[in-house]
Amino acid sequence: MILTVTLNTALDITYHVPSLRPGSSHRVSEVTERPGGKGVNVARVLAALGHEVTVTGFSGGTTGRVLRDRLTEVPHLTDALVPVSGTTRRTIAVVDERSGGTTQLNEPGPAISHAEWSAFQEVYEDLLSSASAVALCGSLPPGVPVGAYAGLIRTARAAGVPALLDTSGAALRRGVAGRPDILKPNAGELAELTGSHDPLRATQDARRRGAGTVVASLGPDGLLAATPDSLWRATPPARLRGNPTGAGDSVVAGLLSSLTAHEPWPARLSRALALASATVLSPVAGEFDRAVYEELLPEVMVTGEAHAA
């Protein structure tokens, strides 16, 4: 199975309002609620592709119960979340139906105790023994040490399991030191990590900081991948109009799906970008249409060159 780690899981709530006006009162016309946090989103995409996937991380309180109840409804997905005494956070996405814009409100995560963090590390090590790959995704809740991802990557390496890291800020900066097999930053995270706004330079720089391969997701500009011996660009078939929410998580899912199928880099990037594109085009944020994905797959253009690292 493929393992995804979400230390800061969330119950993602989406509200539709005719028009968001600060200082006013709004009747919400539509409410949707689903399990969230990057690793949970990645797992949902992998499960939809037919992979057996296990999610771990933390969950607690009423929102944690709702989240776990909803996970039981997903075929191919196993819930191995570790219970904590705090309460899983909510995120609220307010969609303005007039402008199409989304306003995001993210609660802070629950405080994780030392004992809960230790309990998680044991569960994680056990799960690795049957994992073909692991994705470490998203922010760290309070109480989890900022170097957490570096430690989890080392544990995966010791178990012979390739690890992908997708996070931001200090967790990213410190996590890279653990030498993940794949690092998946977006343009903003890449610039924050390296100080460079030139995607090519920043991607190569990020690799030199410790990652085996860096796959940068550059929104409408597609993907840029720096492997140990080559450089690849994947370009989407056309300018896509839609909701980019979850596109990065689909990139991670595509990379893991093709990694565990032992495909070469060009095929991995095609899958990842076709999945991300199908996610952008989906009417439901973070979901993708299988038929659209398969239609886009042969249209992604991947070009490579020798690496001058």
Q: Which of 22, 75, 160, 228 binds its own copies (CB under 8 A)?
A: 22
Interface with its own copies, residue 192, by CB under 8 A: no
Beta bridge partners of 163: 134
Evaluate whether 276 touches 254 at the Cβ level (below 8 Å): yes
Q: Does 115 bind its own copies (CB under 8 A)?
A: no
267 is an interface residue for its own copies by CB under 8 A? no
Instruction: Give the integer Cα–Cα distance in Å for 80 and 56.
Output: 5
Strands 77-79 and 53-59: parallel
β-pair partners for 33: 13
Binding to its own copies (CB under 8 A) within 60-89 occurs at 62, 65-66
Q: Please count the residues of this chain forming the interface with its own copies, following the rule CB under 8 A.
A: 28
Instruction: For the CB of residue 147, give the shortest distance to its own copies in the complex, in Å.
Output: 22
Q: In sequence order, what are the beta bridge partners of 98?
A: none
Cα–Cα distance measured from residue 264 to residue 232, given in angstroms and rounded to the nearest whole number: 11
Query: With CB under 8 A as the contact rule, which of the stretches 12-20, 126-134, 196-204, 286-294 interacts with its own copies?
Result: 12-20
Q: In the stretch 167-186, what mask flags binding to its own copies with x, by CB under 8 A?
A: --------------------
DSSP 186: B
CB of 63 to its own copies, least distance (A): 8
What is d(CA 174, CA 192) in angstroms, rounded to the nearest whole number? 13
Q: Which of 92, 187, 284, 301 binds its own copies (CB under 8 A)?
A: 92
Give whichever of 103 and 303 is closer to its own copies, judged by the CB atom.
Answer: 103
Residue among 106 and 155 whose Cβ is closer to its own copies: 106
Q: What is the C-alpha to C-alpha distance for residues 268 and 64, in angstroms, rounded to an integer?
A: 33
Q: Which two tokens stand for residue 222?
A: 């597609």
Note if 79 is an active site residue.
Answer: no
Which burial class, exposed, middle or buried, applies to 101 when counting CB atoms under 10 A from its CB (0-12, 13-18, 19+)? exposed
- For the bound state, the minimum distance from the C-beta of residue 96 to its own copies, rounded and expressed in Å, comes to 7
> Any contact of residue 27 with its own copies (CB under 8 A)?
yes
CB nearer to its own copies: pick between 14 and 258: 14
Q: Hey, what are 79's tokens?
A: 């819930």
Kindly indicate which of the ranges 46-54, 96-104, 182-190, 259-267 contains the residues binding its own copies, using the contact rule CB under 8 A: 96-104
- 40 by Cβ neighbours in 10 Å (0-12 / 13-18 / 19+) ranks as buried
Q: Which residues bind its own copies (CB under 8 A)?
A: 15, 17, 20-29, 31, 62, 65-66, 92, 94, 96, 99, 101-108
Catalytic residue numbers?
249
